[in-house]
Structure 1
Amino acid sequence: MGLSGLVSAAESIDLRILTWPGYADPDVVAKFEARYQVKLKVSYITNDDDMWQRMQANQAADYDVFAVNTAELQRYIDQQLALPITPENIPNLAQQLPRFKPLSTIPGIVREQKLYAIPYTYSEMGLIYNLNYFVEPPRSWRVLWDPQYQAKILAYNGSAHNFSLAALYNGLSNPFQLEPQQFAEASQSLVALRRNILTFYKSPEQAQDLFLQEDVALLFANYGTQQLKMLLDSGAAVGYTIPEEGALAWLDCWAIAKGVRNKSLAEKWINYSLESWVSQQLTLRQGLANTIVPAAHSLAEDKIIWLQQVEDQQLRSQYWQKIISGKQIAKVPPL
């Protein structure tokens, strides 16, 4: 293909989307293309670092719309890689569930009175419990520390989320910004938790295998209802609950890249994604909650704590490695 052919191929793409698998399936994309007589290109990422690298390259000029969680969004705004969205161009915002209204109450998506992201899908990190052990759902995260379930608990191998979980266990209202003494207390709580855990899993598939193969009473569901669906589909007798202290939750949103070529079309895509049938594909196919239809295993009164940037990710990682390896840790870290 000559140079003119390459230029022609590039110009034939009207909207370039960077997202996670399952967020823009081919059939959903095809219907959008047919409705607006346009051509889309969807690129997929598998982790936050991959998205950051792609968006940094060429100042996000290669993409129009991207899917990002609210905690990660901050660095895109800081580096001016995301542009404000005009909410009046997203009429389907009116269909969103009450917990997403007003948008200004969701940490991280509004800055200086400008809207930078539209909530699309989320997953709270709830508690999966074995019905053979529990007649009623456990009400508190404290159950993970209960010695009667020693070696019958699966937890996630992740530093940031586990320190935040320990902060909830310790009764803190802000689990993301820990003072030195609070950090030390959370560290000691995680040491105690480690002694109660059968093992720490790294993927939902690993957790599923362990749950089915071992005598497991409780599972900290880092992947939320997605893990619940996997276990139910495999025939496990399990329930799902949000403890009274609340559950950490990630919230993925659509954002507009600095390199957008047609902002109006980008906002049409975001609005289209909030149509009920589109959003429900996430739930039906991926087991993820959407922002339009109430999740089957969640209640409106469940306390959801949206993830935010933590005080020191590197320090959390450093201390977590010491905790899971059984090494002695300092009482008060140098925050």
Structure 2
Amino acid sequence: MIKLLQAGWLAAWCCGLVLAHADTAQAGLIPSAVAAAANKGVLRVLAWPGYAEPEVVRSFTARTGVRVEVTVVDTDEALWQKLNAAGKANGSGIGNGNGTQGFDVFAVNTAELQRYVASNLVQGIDVKRIPNTRLQLPRFRDRASIPGLVRQGARGEQVLGIPFTYSAMGLIFDKRQLRKPPTSMAALWDPALQGKVVIYNGGTHNFSLAAMAMGWDTPFQYSDTQWQTGADKLIALRRNAVAVYTQPAESARLFMRHHAALMFANYGMQQLHLLKAAGADVGYAIPPDGALAWLDCWAIPRNTPHRHLAHAWIDHLLGVEASTLLVTRQGLSSTVSETGQDSTHPRLLWLAPVEDAMRRETLWRRIRSGDRLGKVMAP
């Protein structure tokens, strides 16, 4: 577990954001380097649902004169594929180059970030160019204490990601069908709930979820002898599910359309927020046997020519407007204010790099397509 992400993680969920801003960016005075970069036209952002609200994009354009193109992803594998495809299109790894296919800044969880770091696909971030980091809670300013955000190099400490938002991946349940909160992730496999369960379409997280449900100590690192057991467990989960989702809004629609009783909340409180807004009588549970949790950060591709603008974007997303909308509209947590879900739970398991993301996704695609175990495990 990330040692800095401890008590108080999710306290005071929807508290107001009363933040003082004196930096030049918030005052509308754009640094000359950013103004010069603005002449290059377009900032391309790769983000998750709800991270770049239209108002936030418009205010960034108003401040910088730069048009923003936001591409939304809904799985870690989609993120990886889009960034790699962009790099191949301009022939120079991840980045924008002089082409039109690349991205300049992207949102990624701290575990997946290590995949990009290992492939030398991200660049260091100059924190001095992001003055709004001073608004972040102390545990997020202490980036060296969060595994994977800082690398020691020949030139000293290199920051690779700026924390943005986080959530536990709990269980959402219909209070009319389940009178008591689920006490285990194993509830997703309960035969009594067959046809009443909604699950997430992502192999990386689903294999970790299956390992947790079976009580394994290392859900992020499958051994050679565990793959078949894990795949068999996910086949059972698929058979128990009525629907599979990728995006938060889609999950809410499916939950209500199918009158589901239980859902694995890959996006956490964001999904609970959507369902309650739609009038659903639902609760949110972190079972006593634990739940996965994620911390998303902003990172900059290695070859982007818009380095100054990428820094300006990250700074803007830590400002009052974006941080407020993240909490009030999306139901997510902000790194600049305390938010209300207790993270002192001793069994919150923060995402860590997995042994083979590609294998997890390949097996999951076969499982979801309806293949039997023998075909799922075929070379």
Cα drift, residue 232 of structure 1:
1.0
Matched, 1:18 2:45: yes
State the partner residue of 2:151.
Answer: 111
Gap change, CA 1:16 and 1:171, over 3 Å in 2: same
Pair 1:41 & 2:67 matched: yes
Contact 1:322 / 1:329 at 8 angstroms: preserved in 2? Answer: no
State the Cα distance separating 1:218 from its structure 2 match: 0.8
Q: Which moved more, 1:239-248 or 1:156-165?
A: 239-248
Amino acid at match of 1:19: L
Aligned to 2:6: none
Identify the match of residue 273 of structure 1 among 288, 299, 317: 317
The separation in 2 between residues aligned to 1:289 and 1:135, in whole angstroms, is: 27
Report the TM-score when normalising by structure 1: 0.79
In the superposition, relative to structure 1, how do residues 56 and 41 fare at CA in structure 2: closer, same or farther (>3 Å)? farther
Q: Which residue of 1 aligns with 2:31?
A: none
Aligned mate of 2:84, from 52, 68, 76: 52
Identify the match of residue 74 of structure 1 among 114, 119, 125. 114
Report the count of equivalent residues: 323
Q: Which runs of 5+ in 1 are unaligned?
A: 1-8
Give the counterpart letter for 1:40 in structure 2: V
Note closer, same or farther for the CA distance 1:188–1:265 as it changes in structure 2 (3 Å cut): closer
Instruction: Give 1:31 shift.
Output: 4.3
In structure 1, how many angstroms separate the alpha carbons of the residues matched to 2:229 and 2:138? 35
Q: Percent identity?
A: 42
Shift in CA distance, 281/201, structure 1 to aligned 2, threshold 3 Å: closer
Q: How does the TM-score come out when normalised to structure 2?
A: 0.71
Paired position in structure 2 for 1:329: 374
Q: How many Å separate the matches in 1 of 2:172 and 2:122?
A: 36
Question: Which residue is equivalent to 2:16?
Answer: none
Give runs of aligned pairs for residues 1-335 of structure 1, distance below 5 A. Answer: 12-13=39-40, 16-20=43-47, 22-29=50-57, 31-32=59-60, 38-47=64-73, 48=79, 49-58=81-90, 59=92, 60-62=95-97, 64-97=104-137, 100=140, 102-112=142-152, 113-259=157-303, 263=307, 266-296=310-340, 298-302=341-345, 304-324=348-368, 325=370, 327-329=372-374
The 1:327–1:77 alpha-carbon spacing in structure 2 relative to 1, beyond 3 Å, is same
The structure-2 alpha-carbon separation of the partners of 1:31 and 1:322, relative to structure 1 and needing over 3 Å to count, comes to closer
Letter in 2 for 1:219: M
Partner of 1:4: none
Alpha carbons of 1:264 and 1:316: their partners in 2 closer, same or farther (altered >3 Å)?
closer
Distance, in Å, in 2 between the alignment partners of 1:91 and 1:304 is 31
Q: Which residue of 1 aligns with 2:22?
A: none
Relative to structure 1, the CA distance from residue 82 to residue 191 in structure 2 (aligned partners, 3 Å threshold; closer, same or farther) is closer
The answer to whether the Cα contact below 8 Å between 2:42 and 2:69 also exists between their aligned partners in 1 is no
Change (3 A) 1:265 1:205: closer
1:127 is displaced (CA, Å) by 0.7
Q: Is the contact made by 2:196 and 2:242 (CA closer than 8 Å) also made in structure 1? A: yes
How far 1:255 moved relative to its partner? 1.9
| RMSD, matched Cα | 3.4
Using a 3 Å threshold, how does the CA distance of structure 1 residues 178 and 209 change in structure 2: closer, same or farther?
A: same
Pair 1:264–1:304, CA change in 2 (3 A): farther
User: Once the 2 structures are TM-superposed, how far is the Cα of residue 153 of structure 1 from its aligned partner?
Assistant: 1.6
Paired amino acid for 1:327: R
CA shift for structure 1 position 224: 2.2
Offset at residue 229 of structure 1 (A): 1.9
Aligned partners of 2:106 and 2:305: how far apart in 1? 13
Matched residue of 2:374: which SS?
A: coil
The offset of 1:327, in angstroms, is 0.9
Gaps spanning 5+ residues in structure 2: where?
1-35, 74-78, 98-102
